[in-house]
Structure 1
């Protein structure tokens, strides 16, 4: 198909997407037809993504005859975002298909929670009947002020960054939400009653350097408990699994709990962010990638974000790795994912148990250690149904943010390397006293 035909197809698909979207206004109940239409909607979105990707690749390749599609998808900023966007759309499609075929087995409460996910943001289905709408700037201002007090002992000119363990200028640091604020209404469904009250508080926030925030958001790194869980025998990593699980339980009983950083994927995008840090060793105190891997987070006092929201960033990191390499037949980064997974165990104390099987089915199926850890061997401890709320929150957040990044780059001409912008196109904190929604990690 030549470029003119691709452009025509893209326009036709845009029209079809709009028509299909109009069918996604349920009339009293969310029956199997509704969910079938939802799956078809995402099927059209995936096809449209393919057109956009091919057009963008051809534009780039016209100036580089040696550029392959695979290389463009893994190294170009637009190619990377379109690739993870498509993978997230495929998750949304497959969960909708599951909902259509197993609707009768789902509890009514889970169905209602799940359906809200398709009505919450402009880059989802663009229906404003539900969802949090625009964020109250006063709430964000109050949250930031509370974070200054809790984490920074009241300091506001220079901010303490716990990953790098240094004071940084305010413009270099973002107040990162560890859970996407756009999915606020699903917090109680995922974490338990009362979790929603944590959203705009330091309990779910962390001050992070902008480059570190981008690494975490894109799944290049993961934050895990600061304990030594390396197997005693590297050739048989399951031999001492019970002893390591006991170490995790002991860590969970500590106050305060300490964390460290693991590098999951040192891909080109990660290296770009890392080089921005390595360029200023006197400021950041880091001179190599090895100093980041295994680095203990340093706090000024005993206050920490709640462990369940730190765990959520780990779930996001694993998801982003899966989205990035979904086209690979073999699970990539198996060792790195396995290493991160052993630190968090079954996560039974952080989320409802019936959320995890759906995550395994749609994202973690290629990683045996994720399957083993997330599926409870005692079925009596699980609910009767598999709830897709958590996995669709992750997928929908990825679609929204990748779409946002691509549109912003196209409109402004900036790249992810621009020193005054974060990877998703947000302004630096020194440009605006109130943080934009895009400035927040997992916003």
Structure 2
């Protein structure tokens, strides 16, 4: 006996229409993705800057604004999925964390914007600029307060700046060994050819002091990351050089 063929309902070729709520979530997540890309782009711009001048702090303020937008979007996305009433969502752990993050970014924005305005005014007032220069030297010098700027906001020197400076310095000073098979480089301090991995491009005027301070002392045209502000030397020698043990 042959069984009757199984009858199945035809599938609809149309996709189920998405609800307005799911569309909102999709739009928010897309916007969050775009803001994350903007934040990454702004951070790369900041890393590429070697002077903590007014434009630098303006960019920092712009970054703080983007971070505020991201916090808002994350809050909307996470709190929308909660089952608690809207009025009670702000008292959840996630809600409190969002509020604290927002306050931190708002404070950061105010500080950066105020610093940008102050430096912009300093550039127009020689007396203020000279006073700022003196304070920078006094606070960072080993004979002054000796404050390490790498730990107080200026940050470390970007490695790509150091690598580019080293490469240009080696070429400009003809530091390669006459024997092309010998990979050692000339050390300006020891007066000998040394293994390339042991040599660094040391700044004569410290990178941590910044381009603004260098310009104030030496005038326009003095480049912080110029080959004329660097010497190729042993890493051990650079440590003593930075400490002022020899000049």
Q: TM-score, normalising length from structure 1?
A: 0.24
Q: Kindly indicate which of the two structures has a greater share of residues assigned to helix.
A: 2
Report 1 or 2 for greater relative contact order, CA contacts < 8 Å, sequence distance ≥ 6. 1
